[in-house]
Structure 1
Amino acid sequence: MPSPAIRTSAQRATVTAAMDAIRARRSQIMAAHAEAIYDRLTDGRTRYLRIDELLAAAAAVYPGLVPLESQMAAESTREQADKEGYEIDQAIFLRGVLRSPVAAPHLLDAMLRPTPRALDLLPGFTRSGIAEMEAVRVERRDGVAHLTLCRDDCLNAEDERQVDDLETAVDLALLDPSVRVGLLRGGPMSHPRYAGRRVFCAGINLKKLGSGDIPLVDFLLRRELGYIHKLLRGVLVGNSWHSPYLGKPWVGAVDAFAIGGGAQLLLVLDHVLAASDAYLSLPAAKEGIVPGVANLRLTRFTGPRLARQMILGGRAIQAGEPEARLLIDEVVAPEEMDAAVARAVDRLGGEAVPANRRMLNLAEESPAEFARYLAEFALQQALRVHDADVIGKARAFARRRA
C-alpha cells in the first residue's frame, strides 16, 4: 500500500477492514489473557515496568500482539496524517492491562515510581535547591518548591519535552525532605502577545500534534499516569507499613489563562488561585480530542451540567464569574498574586495537611476508578488523534499560526 495520506478511498477501505479484524482479535486476546500476559512480562509482578518498557517487552515476547519497536520508530518520523495508527494497537494492549484488577494496580505503581532522571538530579537539587530544565525551573525557597513553567515562546503549550521535565520536577519536589509544599505557576512570556506577562498554560501544542510529535505513550498517557497522578497520589518510595507513597500539598497559581491541559492540572491541586483577569477552558470539542482525565474529575467540582458545557460546548470560565468559584479557591487582582501565593503556601504547610489530603483524594477518586477510566481513555484518545477530523484541525491551527 502507498502511504496513508495518498491512498485511494478503495485502498483505505481495504486497510480499515483488515485492521478492524486484527484489532478485534487482539481485543479478544487481551480480554481473556491480560493478567497472564502481564505476569509473564513482569516476572509475576516482581518487576516494575513503565508503559513504554512494558510495550517494548510485549513486542519482544508476543510479536504481533503489539507493534514492533522498529515499526514505532518508523512511525515517529512521520507527520500525523501519514501515520499507520499503530498507537491504536498499543492502546488495545494497555486497555486490557488497565482493565485487569490484578495487573492495573501494579502498573499504576510502576508509573508512580521516581524516574531515573529525577534520581540522578536529586542529590544536586537537595544541595542547591535549584534545578533548571528546558520547560520547567524548580527552586526551593523556605520549604516551598516553586515549579515555574518556562516555555516562554509558546505560552507553555504542552509537548513531550514538557511532560518529561514536569515529571522530573514533581519527583524532585516530592523526594526532597526539605520541601513541605509545591507550587505550580507559569513564568513571564517572550511571546509577542503576552511579552513580559506570566501565563499558566495554553494546553496541548496543536502544531506538534499535526507534525506527529505528540505520541500516545510518551505524552498523552505518560502525562496522566505520571506527573499528574503523582501530584494527586504522591510518589512511590518503598513498602513502608504505614504508606508506600510520599505525597505533599500543591498550590496552583493561574495568570492569564489555563487552557486544556492547564485547566486539567487544577483538578488535582489542593488550592487554586487566579488573577481576576484570567480564564479557564477545556476546548476538547474544538480540538477533537479527549481532555485527559477531566471527564472523570470535573463533575465532582462543577456538577454534570457545567462540565458538559465546558467539555462538549467549549464554554470558557472567566475568573470573575460566580461559577469560577467551583474551580478556583481565590480570585485576586493581578498585582496581588504574589502576596496571595505566599499566603496560600503558608496555609498548606501544616503537619496534618498531607494525611488529610491523602484521605480526601482516596474518598474522591480511588485507584481502581482511575484505572477503569484510563483503560477506556487510552483507546478513545488513540482513535481520536488518528482521526481525519483531529488531523485536519491540527493542520488548520498550524496554518493560522504560520
Structure 2
Amino acid sequence: MSYTHIQEAVDQQVGLITLNRPQVLNALNRKLIEELVDALEQMDRNEEVRVIVLTGNDRAFAAGADISEMANESAIQMLLKDQFAVWDRIAYVSKPIIAAVSGFVLGGGCELMMSCDMVIASETTKIGQPEVKLGVMPGAGGTQRLAHAVGKVKAMEMLLTGEPINADEALRYGLINKVVPIEVYLQEAIKLARQIASQPPLAVRLIKKSVHKAVSHSLDEGIAFERNCFYLLFASEDQTEGMQAFMNKRKPNFTGR
C-alpha cells in the first residue's frame, strides 16, 4: 500500500510509524487507520523489525476521530461500514508497540494509545475521551481499555465529563509508563524499543501474549497459558543461547529462532 497519511522507517530493529495529518492535529480518518494497520501488519511480518514505535508530532499524537466523516451518517450506515473492525487487528500484532505521545491524545487518539503496549509521554500531553461532549461515546475500546487501565471510578469521571488529564496524572493512574521533556519523548521511546529489541524475540512475543491474556481471562486460564508458553520456549535456540551465555558469563546473541 502507498501511504499518504502516515510515514514509516526501520532502523536498528525498530520500526517507526508516524501519523502525518498535522493540518488537522492527526485526526484519525478511515484512510489513516487503514494505512496504519497495514503498516503495523507489514512490520509484524518483517524479520528486520523487533519492536514498533508509533508517534505523531509535538502538538498532537492524535486529537480524535475525523468528525467530518461521521457527522451526517445514519445508524445503519455506521453499522454497515463497521469502521472499528479494522482497529481490532491492532490487537493481533505480535510485536511490542510503544506509543510516543505529546500534546493532544484525545478520543480515538486515546483509544489508539491504549491499543499500544507501552507509552512514553511528553510533559505537554493531555489525554482524554471527550466523545460525550459530541453526544456520543467511545467506539474503539475507550470505555473498556480505560476502565482496565485506571479503574472504574476514574474512567467514569473521564468518560462522563469528557475532561482530559495531564501526563503526571496519567502516570499516577498507570495509563502511561514515563513522562519526559517534550524535546526527548520520541528518543526515549526509541531507546526503550532498542532495549526490548535486544531481548530474545520469541520470548518477547510470548510475554506480550501472556500479559494480554492476563487482562482478558481468569487467573487460572492466564497461568495455564503462561506455563505452556514457558515450556514452549525450551524448544527455541534462543533459550539454549541465553542459558549458555549466562553460565559462561558472556553476552547472548539472540536470533529469534
TM bin (shorter chain): 0.7 to 0.9
Alignment of 1:238-277 (within 5 A): 247-277=94-124
Alignment of 1:224-243 (within 5 A): 225-226=85-86, 228-234=87-93
Aligned: 1:308 with 2:169: no
C-alpha deviation, 1:180, in angstroms: 0.5
Q: Residues 337 and 218 (structure 1 numbering): CA distance in 2 closer, same or farther, change over 3 Å? A: farther
Q: Which residue of 1 aligns with 2:211?
A: 360
Asked if 2 retains the 8 angstrom alpha-carbon contact of 1:317 and 1:323, the reply is no
Aligned: 1:341 with 2:199: no
Which residue, 280, 289, 297 being the options, matches 2:145? 297
State the one-letter code of the partner of 1:207.
Answer: S
Q: Which residue of 1 aligns with 2:56?
A: 186
Q: Residues 212 and 134 (structure 1 numbering): CA distance in 2 closer, same or farther, change over 3 Å? A: farther
Q: Residues 277 and 218 (structure 1 numbering): CA distance in 2 closer, same or farther, change over 3 Å? A: farther
Alignment of 1:318-333 (within 5 A): 318-321=166-169, 324-333=172-181
Alignment of 1:100-115 (within 5 A): none
Asked if 1 retains the 8 angstrom alpha-carbon contact of 2:16 and 2:54, the reply is yes
Aligned: 1:158 with 2:19: no
Which residue, 163, 166, 176 being the options, matches 2:46? 176
C-alpha deviation, 1:266, in angstroms: 2.0
Q: Which residue of 1 aligns with 2:228?
A: none
CA distance in 2, matches of 1:218, 1:323: 38
Aligned: 1:216 with 2:67: no
| C-alpha RMSD over aligned residues | 2.2
Q: Secondary structure at the match of 1:137?
A: strand
CA distance in 1, matches of 2:160, 2:29: 23
Larger Rg: 1
**Which consecutive unaligned segments of at least 5 residues does structure 1 have?**
1-120, 122-131, 188-196, 235-246, 367-402
CA distance in 1, matches of 2:184, 2:151: 30
Asked if 1 retains the 8 angstrom alpha-carbon contact of 2:170 and 2:176, the reply is no
C-alpha deviation, 1:281, in angstroms: 0.6
**Which consecutive unaligned segments of at least 5 residues does structure 2 have?**
218-257
Q: Residues 323 and 287 (structure 1 numbering): CA distance in 2 closer, same or farther, change over 3 Å? A: farther
C-alpha deviation, 1:324, in angstroms: 4.7
CA distance in 1, matches of 2:97, 2:80: 24
Q: Which has the higher strand share?
A: 2
Asked if 2 retains the 8 angstrom alpha-carbon contact of 1:318 and 1:324, the reply is no
Q: Which residue of 2 aligns with 1:387?
A: none
CA distance in 2, matches of 1:361, 1:233: 10
Q: Which residue of 2 aligns with 1:202?
A: 63
Q: Secondary structure at the match of 1:163?
A: helix
Aligned residues: 212
CA distance in 2, matches of 1:138, 1:290: 31
C-alpha deviation, 1:326, in angstroms: 1.6
Q: Secondary structure at the match of 1:312?
A: helix
